[in-house]
A and B are shown apart, each in its own frame.
Chain A
Amino acid sequence: MSNMKLLEIKKLNKSFDDKKILTDINLSLSSGKIVGLLGKNGAGKSTLIKLINDLLTPSSGEILVNGEKIGVESKKVISYLPERTYLNKQMKVSEVIELFKDFYQDFDEEKAIKLLKDLDLDINQSLTKMSKGMQEKVQLVLVMSRKADLYILDEPLGGVDPATRDYILDTILSNFNENASVIISTHLISDIERILDEVIFIDKGKIILQSDADKLRNKEKSSIDEIFRRMFKC
């Protein structure tokens, strides 16, 4: 059991009609890691994430979470922050909290309320009345307040100011525990690379590199951001 992988992806392919989106993805991830899924817009990051969350069906290949095929069980242990919100914006934050409580057994309401308070967010306010940055903070707080095995954050830094970015990174770090792993997809590498254990470069639907972040810096004598730019120069 102990060396069982948290996430294992084998020979995964995904096409829409006859367009190939992901080609032969093989990936394995153990607990206690913060992993950056890095790629340009349209590289296939979000498709891969949706497949892991069982929101899309693979054309071929398989995805295992804790050794089992994804499905009802894997949804219980994966906490997912989508790129675009699925919440009804007419709802008040307190109503969204109730929704999370109903949906997820591992949701820690006290923690969510404390984090929201730290951020000066009013739980009696409806999402429509909040700025985009505030809405993103609310969603991140909710996602990080679950006691999940795997957190998958799709572009958590898009569209927020630098101070909020710092807060988001802090929230990820301080809520991350050794039994869990975090996958963060982003194209804003320089903001986030400091907290990553591992990086995965994805381009045109293929994984072209997977490495320990510090080892890669050491080998290339430059930042992950720089290595990425060099590799994907237009």
Chain B
Amino acid sequence: MELTFDNNIPIYIQLLEYMKIYLISGVFKCGEKLPSVREFAITFKVNPNTMQKALAELESMNLIYTERTNGKYVTKDQKVINKLKDEYAITLAKSYFQGMKRIGLGKADSIRYLEGIDE
């Protein structure tokens, strides 16, 4: 999992985004034990303190939790992950519609374009 970073944006915010996608897409599954901060830092090639900051943020969003002395785990509550997925999907959809609006296409047209695209 080699990540690329944009140096113009705080690294911890980018880490947070990558981690959210890993949670939504099930790279790390509900209830699964996460690698340690150190392991993450080495894999992602980032500073452990920055990684720690991103994980703390995920924890404050209840997406992960710390089991005393045992490390960090993904939440056992699938609903929390589903909600995150939903929010993420809405954000992506909104940005699509905004882009289409900029070139003068309304919602109905935009949907028509979507339907015409083969995945």
A169's partner among B6, B7, B45, B49 (CB-CB below 8 A) is B45
Contact assessment for B7 and A225 in the assembled complex, using a CB-CB cutoff below 8 Å: yes
Report the nearest A residue to B7, measured CB to CB. A223
Contact assessment for A197 and B49 in the assembled complex, using a CB-CB cutoff below 8 Å: yes
CB distance from A145 to the nearest CB of B (A): 17
| B8 interface residue (CB < 8 Å to A) | yes
A214: chain B residues at CB < 8 Å are 10-13, 50, 53
B46's partner among A178, A194, A225, A226 (CB-CB below 8 A) is A194
| A217 interface residue (CB < 8 Å to B) | yes
Report the nearest A residue to B42, measured CB to CB. A174
- Asked, given contacts A214-B12, A214-B50, whether A173 binds B45 with beta carbons under 8 Å apart, the answer is yes
Contact assessment for A194 and B11 in the assembled complex, using a CB-CB cutoff below 8 Å: yes
B7's partner among A32, A33, A217 (CB-CB below 8 A) is A217
B62: chain A residues at CB < 8 Å are none
Contact assessment for A173 and B8 in the assembled complex, using a CB-CB cutoff below 8 Å: no
The prevalent SS among residues of A at the interface is helix
B8's partner among A195, A197, A217 (CB-CB below 8 A) is A217
Q: How far is the CA of A173 from the CA of B49 in the complex (A)?
A: 11
Contact assessment for A197 and B50 in the assembled complex, using a CB-CB cutoff below 8 Å: yes
Please, what's the 1-or-0 string for B7-38, where 1 marks a CB less than 8 Å from any CB in chain A?
11111110000000000000000000000000
Q: How far is the CA of A1 from the CA of B46 in the complex (A)?
A: 29
Report the nearest B residue to A33, measured CB to CB. B49
Contact assessment for A197 and B7 in the assembled complex, using a CB-CB cutoff below 8 Å: no
Report the nearest B residue to A196, measured CB to CB. B47
CB distance from A224 to the nearest CB of B (A): 7
| B5 interface residue (CB < 8 Å to A) | yes
B49: chain A residues at CB < 8 Å are 32-34, 197
Q: How large is the interface on B (under 10, 10 to 19, 20 to 34, 35 or more residues)?
A: 10 to 19
Q: How many residues of A contact B (CB 8 A)?
A: 26
Q: How far is the CA of A23 from the CA of B6 in the complex (A)?
A: 35
Contact assessment for B47 and A195 in the assembled complex, using a CB-CB cutoff below 8 Å: yes
Interface hits, A175-219 → B, CB 8 Å: 176, 178, 190, 193-197, 213-215, 217-218
Contact assessment for A197 and B10 in the assembled complex, using a CB-CB cutoff below 8 Å: no
| B100 interface residue (CB < 8 Å to A) | no
CB distance from A212 to the nearest CB of B (A): 9
Please, what's the 1-or-0 string for A1-42, where 1 marks a CB less than 8 Å from any CB in chain B?
000000000000000000000000000000011100000000
Contact assessment for B7 and A193 in the assembled complex, using a CB-CB cutoff below 8 Å: yes
B48: chain A residues at CB < 8 Å are 173, 176, 178
A173's partner among B6, B10, B47, B53 (CB-CB below 8 A) is B47
CB distance from B53 to the nearest CB of A (A): 8
- Given A173-B46, A214-B53, A226-B7, 11 additional A-B pairs, CB 8 A: A33-B49, A173-B42, A174-B42, A176-B48, A190-B7, A194-B5, A194-B7, A194-B45, A195-B47, A215-B10, A217-B9
- Cβ contacts A to B, 17 pairs, < 8 Å: A34-B47, A173-B42, A173-B45, A173-B47, A173-B48, A178-B48, A190-B7, A194-B7, A194-B45, A194-B47, A214-B10, A214-B11, A214-B53, A217-B10, A221-B8, A223-B8, A224-B7
Interface pairs A-B: 8 shortest CB-CB: A223-B7, A214-B10, A223-B8, A217-B10, A195-B47, A218-B10, A222-B8, A174-B42
